[in-house]
A = this chain, B = another copy of it.
Amino acid sequence: MITPDRVKGTRDFGPEDMLLRQRVVGIIRIIYEARGFVPIDTPALEKWEVLSAKGAGGDELLKETYNFEDLGSRRIGLRYDLTVPLIRYVSMNPNIPMPFKRYHYGPVWRYEESKPGRYREFYQFDIDTVGSQSMAADAECIATVAEALSKFRQYIGDFKIRINNRKLVEGVLNYLDITSEEQVIGEMRTIDKIQKLSREGLFKEFKTYKISAVQAERILDSLSRKGEIKQILSEMKKDLPKNEKIAAGLSELEETEKYLGAFGVLANCIFDASLVRGLGYYTGNVFEATLEGKNSGSIAGGGRYDKVIGLFLGKDVPAVGFSIGIERLLDLMKGKITPEPLTEIFVAAVSQDLLPEAIKISEKLRTQGKRVQFDLMGRNFSNQLKFADKIGAKEVWILGPRDMAKGEIVVKDMKTGKEERVKINSLINN
């Protein structure tokens, strides 16, 4: 006999998990579709050449990507995110109308260190707008995710969407004579760890990218700006040196702020100079939704990546996306939400030969929109009642031979325990 076991880092989703998941995904889908984001799905399997295409952001992730040769000796990998499939999809559908606004909910696979709350197979839920250079697209992603998260405020509490701009950060680094791509990206990775590392740790890491203590000091100073977007923008316009990238970053942020105002979500947004997000592929605005309360971390992340979609096309295609941390969201909701009982009425037949009658009545009730079950286990009456109670049925309809002969039935309210004798016809036909 083999001991049944799951693959390490994977989960089964039982009925309670799935009902919650379906409900949450359903609520978010409606919000996404109302703003014109449409669903797509792509295979779990991708060619290794596609997954490992340079610039798709996977350099680090490739190390932990499940991959193997198929029976035809082709190297295949399980997708590690939903962005690379989007890039491939857009490349293979060159006549797709622009903007292409899609959402995608699906599993991804990463062979990561197994930790509580971290899985090797987990779900992502992304929206992306491909083809638009307008900051209105950035603002729309932010407003859309803000609306989705606000639907779950009673479970996750308040949130803020922190916004920064990569061009602005790069402009400041350039001004500090940090200009090589390697240094710029390294520096951004370091800033990304600002919550985790001590000041000494940060300096040490900056040093590995050949950034001097003086430079590091000024970088950290510049990262302290945080607050209302309009306010910080006007300060930065006065304080910051003028170079092309700084000007571009400020102008993008200014435009984004204008559209966020039109969407009515400015109260949920703040500027945060310390936000850069780790991935190398962002080119403009970056954003992250953070839950209020100490160390509660982020619940969504995204930004503009104008250089990546065109990877296979040989030309730039602008794009911006925002991804909800759906696993985190579901974890936060679990146990805080009482699902509606799936079965409203349990039809109990006191003797087994009345089972066909129980089925007939169940089916009639179902045509009235009720969710109904009956006994499939040959249980005696008292065990049927116990089972009905266990599955949370609101009512038990009791079929006894003498009652049935008179065309009657007993309806028991499981909450109050009250029983009522009723004519079957009147119950089923109303």
Q: Which residues of A contact B (CB under 8 A)?
A: 1-8, 10-15, 17-19, 21-22, 29, 33-36, 38-47, 49-50, 53, 64, 66-72, 74, 76, 78, 85, 87-89, 91-93, 97-99, 102, 107, 109, 111, 120-121, 129, 131-134, 136-137, 139-140, 143, 258-259, 261-264, 311-312, 314, 342-343, 355-357, 359-360, 363, 366, 369-374, 376-378, 387, 390-391
Checking B1, B342, B369 against A38 with a beta-carbon cut-off of 8 angstroms, the contacting residue is B342
The contact sample of 5 A-B pairs, CB cut-off 8 A, is A1-B314, A13-B42, A14-B93, A35-B373, A134-B355
Contact between chains at A7 and B46 (CB < 8 Å): yes
A198 CA / B13 CA spacing, docked (Å): 46
Chain B contacts for A390, CB-based, 8 A: 97
Minimal beta-carbon separation of A262 from chain B (angstroms) = 4
Contact between chains at B14 and A40 (CB < 8 Å): yes
Chain B contacts for A7, CB-based, 8 A: 43, 45-47, 70, 74, 76
Checking B18, B78, B140, B377 against A98 with a beta-carbon cut-off of 8 angstroms, the contacting residue is B377
Given that A12-B43, A355-B259 are known contacts, is A371 also in contact with B34, CB under 8 Å in the complex? yes
Interface-central residue, A39, A49, A109, A370, by most chain B CB under 10 Å? A39
A102 CA / B14 CA spacing, docked (Å): 9
Given that A46-B7, A92-B4, A356-B261 are known contacts, is A35 also in contact with B372, CB under 8 Å in the complex? yes
Chain B contacts for A91, CB-based, 8 A: 4
Contact between chains at B356 and A36 (CB < 8 Å): no
Checking B3, B72, B372 against A312 with a beta-carbon cut-off of 8 angstroms, the contacting residue is B3
Checking B67, B97, B372, B378 against A34 with a beta-carbon cut-off of 8 angstroms, the contacting residue is B372
Interface-central residue, A67, A360, A376, by most chain B CB under 10 Å? A376
Minimal beta-carbon separation of A90 from chain B (angstroms) = 9
